Amino acid sequence: GRPDTSDVDALDLIDVDSAAARFARPYDHWLRDNALRFSDIRRLRDQVGLLQYTPLISIVTPVYEPPETYLRQAIESVIDQIYPHWELCLANDASPSPYVRAVLDEYAAIDHRIKVIHRTENGNISLASNSALSLAIGDFVALLNHDDMLAPDALFEAAAALNRDPRIDMIYSDEDKIDDEGRRRDPFFKPDWSPESFLSRMYTGHLSVFRRALIERIGGFR
């Protein structure tokens, strides 16, 4: 429709640069309204004790030459999980840099839930993932890259979904990226399960949680 004259006149009062900056990153606005707050973390920690079903979730991570900072951030994002019933199974895929072994052994000594295997030969991601999987004893397996970071509530939300329906065999989450300045960007908000979409793209990705019996039934990773 035709604009009201008063609206047109009001445009002269808008700081164009400020408006452009304000809406340059809509994801920042979404995070402001939806990101986990300290009060949310406290509330969810209290809710963990109310879960009737608390499955052990085995996090499988193949490791090969990640930057040390990223590797530490990945491990610490697991340690910081609200849901405490996890184990982190790390397979060092014969990384040539000595710091990789040192970092993995350091964290394994800090937390008994962290398990480490050091491969003597580089086998790439599938064989390394199978090595990590050999350490797992949980009913469910979550796949985590050596340079990923989990949101603090990631495993809690998986466990909450399993409490709503214990028959679930697979869970997947939304994801985004984080830059070297610690800013979150490039959000990937995913649909509910869509077989048609899955035929055209691998959209489940990170974080994916699977019933371990299914992975073992197909013989692990290939």
- Using DSSP's 3-state secondary structure scheme, residue 114 falls into strand
> How large is the average pLDDT for residues 30-42?
93
Q: Is the pLDDT of residue 16 over 80?
A: no
pLDDT in tens, 54-98: 999 999 999 999 999 999 999 999 999 999 999 999 999 999 999
pLDDT in tens, 155-167: 999 999 999 999 9
Contacting residues for 137 by C-beta, under 8 A, at least 6 apart? 56, 58, 87
Nearest to 93 by CA among 145, 157, 30: 145
Q: What is the pLDDT of residue 13?
A: 45
How far apart are alpha carbons 152 and 145 in whole angstroms?
16
pLDDT in tens, 159-189: 999 999 999 999 999 999 999 898 999 999 9
Q: Is the pLDDT of residue 130 over 70?
A: yes
Strands (E) located in 124-179: 140-143, 170-172, 175-178
Q: Which amino acid is at 210?
A: F
Q: Are 140 and 154 in contact (CB under 8 A)?
A: no
Please calculate the CA angle 55-81-25 and round it to the nearest 5 degrees. Answer: 125
97 versus 18: the higher-pLDDT residue is 97
Query: How many residues make up the chain in this entry?
Result: 222
Q: What is the pLDDT of residue 202?
A: 87
Q: How far is CA 48 from CA 44, 198, 204, 206, in A?
A: 6, 32, 26, 23
